[in-house]
A and B are shown apart, each in its own frame.
Chain A
Amino acid sequence: MSAKDTINAIEERSLFELAKHDAVAAERSGYSDYSYWRSTLAVFLKNRFAVAALLIMVVLIAFTFMQPFLPNQKDPNLIHINPETGRQLRNVPPSQEYRFGTNSIGQDLWARIWLGSRNSLLLALLVSIVRVTVGIVVGALWGYVRRLDRLMTELYNVLANVPTTIVYTLAAYILRPSLRTMIIAMTILGWLPMARFIRNQVVIIRDREYNLASRCLGTPTSRIISRNILPYLVSVIMLQFALAIPLVIGAEVFLSYIGLGLPYHVPSLGNLVNQGRQLMLIKSLRYQLIYPSIVLSLITISFYVMGNAFSDAADPRTHV
């Protein structure tokens, strides 16, 4: 009781005392030790699913790229032959020797799946980088430069309506089917949705009240871009990038399905799933569909969850 009274007495007294002017203390009022990336990391680490997805992703990617250097690995394109009968070891079920079995012409499915993941990841990564980079540059111009808006919108409407199958067919005709052809075919119009997305984001936030306020206060444009707009866009760009990877892998699976995929000697998750699909009605051979599907799903889900969580964490509105 008495302690509280004392405190009250002190507070009451201080209310009526003139405070001394301290220049340093006055400056200190606006100070906080906020750091964008530290807060992003803190929010991200708080999300258990995200950390798990990140872990799965890192382990998967590391294993995918380390697999050829591990002992006792087989050549993914070597057709295994039974030394006694001289015939191909076709459709051998999973065993000690062939961990995921062999496929319909006697190749080791285990080695093919990891090479396939490598190829698919490489494809996805390169395609996503090109799509996101071109998309950001074009989208930012489209959004900022008002004179370009009409022209770009028209251009978008035209290009977005050209069926992508024609582009893929043309690419397959002009260039030989290969990983490089696939990358070119998937990027040549693939940046369109990204450009539209960035354009819409720029249009939405360029006239937000806080940007308007900054402009009224005479903040230079460069500072508005770097402080007001970019931190907001970092999160959506990272999200788009992380989501582009499952998307590209899925597109590759689809292209394999319609017969425009990679050639047989370049295994990818797409053509592995597709080869498994052709045997799926035979129950004992279903493992050839199930194993690639599991690896594929683990990769795409971990990228998806991770991307979402990261974009959430990178959004300044979630920071405290």
Chain B
Amino acid sequence: MAESLSSAPERRPERPRAKAGLTAYTLRRAAQSLVTVFIVITAVFLLMRLLPLEGYFGDDYDRLDDFQRQAILRSLGLLDPWYVQLRNFYSGLLQGDLGTSIIYRPKVPVTRIVVPRIPVSARFGLAAVGMGLVIGLTLGVLAAREKGKIFDGVVQGYIVFVRAVPAVVYLLFIQLYATQFFDLPILYRAANPRSWVLPAVSLSLGGIASYAMWIRRFMVDELNKDYIKLARAKGMSNTSVMFKHVLRNAFVPMAQYLPTTLLLTIAGSLYIESLYSIPGMGGLLIDAIAVQDNPLVQALVLIFSSLGVFGLFAGDVLMALIDPRIKLEGRGGAR
């Protein structure tokens, strides 16, 4: 099973080709991103309008008569033709107004719902990414050095377990048994730091496994390469070979994903946040879709897709900064 855990590193889908300066490149990418985000939210807007009108009433549907239902729908603007609704949405957006929630928390501005939740999710997310990087990379590097020995086997077993068993299952058992075993609180309380431990640890397990797997595979492949042998032959110490050569190269493909990972920490984790009842962003989108709160869904999709698209771009720039061989402008590849 030794070498089998990862596939070849992924490349970014976008390979910039225009011969232009970095500014022009940035501008072109920004315009492109704007178009992408525009199409995404328009598509989501239209998809939400495909959902049944009964969905807007939730459990109240049976208690209302037809006249009341029509009145409510009209007051929410849902009886207008879709292009009128779309125009209203965009004219509000251009004035910086994300709209007000219609069902999730009626008449409350979307920003007032979303903004207080962001730091909660972001704190856990950043802690998890940090732990994932530090612990994951350390485990991976040590496993690569101990290749074929017991420690390596344990790390591999952990990686296989976390990646193969659905998180929904093992996180449940962590909540069930770790709370008993370490006497930790079962639910999150903002005032009690002890209740932060399990959600943060749970959130980091997947990242630890991915980073450990990736760096171990990378190290095993890389340590036999000529530039490493040369560095050794020059008399460089193991540690500086590791930090100045191997890890720097290892970070190049990682840099592509890191900005997106960091930015999307604010999206939170639906499952962990609902397990520990953390008031974060995690379940918000799914709840909003379930009750068909269109303005809230649109605002969240706008935030997430902008971050996703921007993260991809930031990843390309970061990658070019770390690896001077990568040129954002000019032709890539052999043809």
Contact = CB atoms under 8 A, between A and B. Distances in A.
B320 interface: no
B3 interface: yes
B13 A161 contact: no
Interface residues of B, number: 53
Nearest to A50: B1
Nearest to B40: A161
Given A173-B52, A197-B10, A308-B4, A303 B290 contact: no
A162 B172 contact: no
A170 B36 contact: no
Interface in B17-66: 32, 35-37, 39-40, 43-44, 47-48, 50-52, 55
Interface in A220-269: 236, 239-240, 246, 249-250, 253-254, 257-259
A160 B14 CA distance: 14
Contacts of A50: 1
A280 B173 CA distance: 9
Given A161-B36, A165-B285, A296 B165 contact: yes
A63 B277 CA distance: 39
B8 interface: yes
A290 to B, nearest CB: 9
Interface string B109-130: 0000000000000000000000
Given A153-B14, A301-B164, A173 B1 contact: no
A179 interface: no
A162 B45 CA distance: 10
Interface string A19-59: 00000000000000000000000000001011000000000
Interface residues of A, number: 57
A246 B164 contact: yes
A212 interface: yes
Contacts of B168: 250, 253-254, 257, 273
A169 B44 contact: no
B36 A154 contact: yes
Interface stretch (B79-87, B140-148, B241-249, B304-312): B304-312
B36 A280 contact: no
Interface in B172-187: 172-173, 176
A199 interface: yes
Nearest to A280: B176
Contacts of B1: 47, 49-50, 305, 308-309, 312
B271 interface: yes
A196 B334 CA distance: 21
Contact of B169 (A166, A170, A273, A286): A273
Interface stretch (A72-80, A86-94, A200-208): A200-208
Given A49-B1, A153-B14, A156-B13, A301 B166 contact: no
Interface in B246-292: 270-271, 285-286, 289-290
B163 interface: yes
B160 interface: yes
A300 interface: yes
Given A162-B47, A166-B289, A312-B4, A249 B10 contact: no
A312 B10 contact: no
A166 B305 CA distance: 14
Contacts of B308: 160-161
Nearest to A313: B4
Given A161-B40, A197-B10, A293 B290 contact: no
Nearest to A296: B169
A107 interface: no
Nearest to A249: B166
B334 A239 contact: no
Interface string A143-182: 0000001000110111011110111011001000000000
Given A153-B14, A293-B173, A305-B160, A162 B43 contact: yes
B52 to A, nearest CB: 6
Task: Name the residue in B35, B44, B289, B304 with the highest tally of chain A Cβ atoms < 10 Å from its Cβ.
Answer: B289
A201 B172 CA distance: 36
B224 interface: no
B7 A239 contact: yes
A277 interface: yes
Interface in A285-320: 286, 289, 293, 296-297, 300-301, 303-305, 308-309, 311-312, 318
Given A207-B334, A207-B335, A257-B271, A169 B165 contact: no
Given A49-B1, A236-B7, A296-B166, 8 more contacts: A158-B36, A158-B39, A165-B286, A207-B334, A236-B8, A240-B7, A250-B166, A301-B161
11 contacts: A196-B10, A203-B333, A204-B11, A246-B166, A250-B165, A250-B166, A250-B168, A254-B271, A303-B164, A304-B160, A309-B1
